[in-house]
Amino acid sequence: MCRVFDAKFSIPTYFSHATNRTIAMYDVMYQEPYRLIRRTKVILLPVDGSKDSARAASVAFELAEITGARLIILHVINMGMVQHMARMSETDVDEVLEKYEENGNKLLQRYKAAAAEHGIDADLILTQGLPSERILQVADEQEAEVIVIGCRGVTGALSSAIGSTTERVVRRAKCPVLVVKRPETKKVRRRQTQRQVAKGS
């Protein structure tokens, strides 16, 4: 058995010479044991104010502590949402955008303060656009070696296993992506069971 790592998630998987079949569903690449984490120099943490991004932050802080890597905290203002809110409230787009920028800066400062409690001097980036596109662009521009992201954002539906932004990032990122999943509650499990029963009936 040859040990390999998943190119997207860096999760150990195994290839069987006997069956000539890989268990992982993604392309794989070999990594020397323990080298992927040790060599990490830049970590990108996209945040949006959701509970999942807060959980992702705690993982990113710990990873930055372990590796001594530079931590970049990114918040993307979704311009589609800004334009939608402007239309709904009959308000000028620039006025709505200014409010989003104000809230975005406050959010980033809170995360920077939280990182400082771990002894990490995080860099902050506030930008605009489609979140998945901007996350990928910033990752390339800053030469991020790992992206730590929450499973779902503020707009993620409870019925979704993974948010659309996170899914796009996972599929298209050039570097490993660490997706932090929210703990499954009894309420969520009950809903999943009900849906499964409904499908079977």
Q: What is the pLDDT of residue 97?
A: 93
- Reported as a single tens digit per residue, the pLDDT across 33-84 is 556 667 789 999 999 988 899 999 999 999 999 999 999 999 999 999 999 9
Across the range 1-28, mean pLDDT stands at: 37
For domain 37-184, give the CATH number.
3.40.50.620
d(CA 115, CA 105): 15
Q: Which helix (H) or strand (E) holds 19?
A: none
Share of the chain above pLDDT 90, in %: 58
Please, what is the average pLDDT of the chain? 78
* CA–CA dist 151, 153 (Å, integer): 7
pLDDT at 90: 87
pLDDT of residue 17: 38
Check residue 186 and give its pLDDT. Answer: 58
> Per-domain residue ranges for the chain?
1-33, 37-184
Place of tokens 């308000």: 91
Write the DSSP symbol of residue 49. S
**SS3 (DSSP) at 173:** coil
Checking if the pLDDT of 177 tops 80, the result is yes
- DSSP letters, the chain, are -EEEEETTT--EEEEETTTTEES-SS-EE---TTHHHHT--EEEEE--SSHHHHHHHHHHHHHHHHH--EEEEEEEEEHHHHHHHHHHHT--HHHHHHHHHHHHHHHHHHHHHHHHTTT---EEEEEEE-HHHHHHHHHHHTT-SEEEEESS-TT--TT-SS-HHHHHHHHH-SS-EEEEPPPPPHHHHHHHHHHHHHHH-
Tens digit of each residue's pLDDT (9 = 90 or more) over 102-129: 999 999 999 999 999 999 999 999 999 9
> Look-up: residue for tokens 């998630």?
9
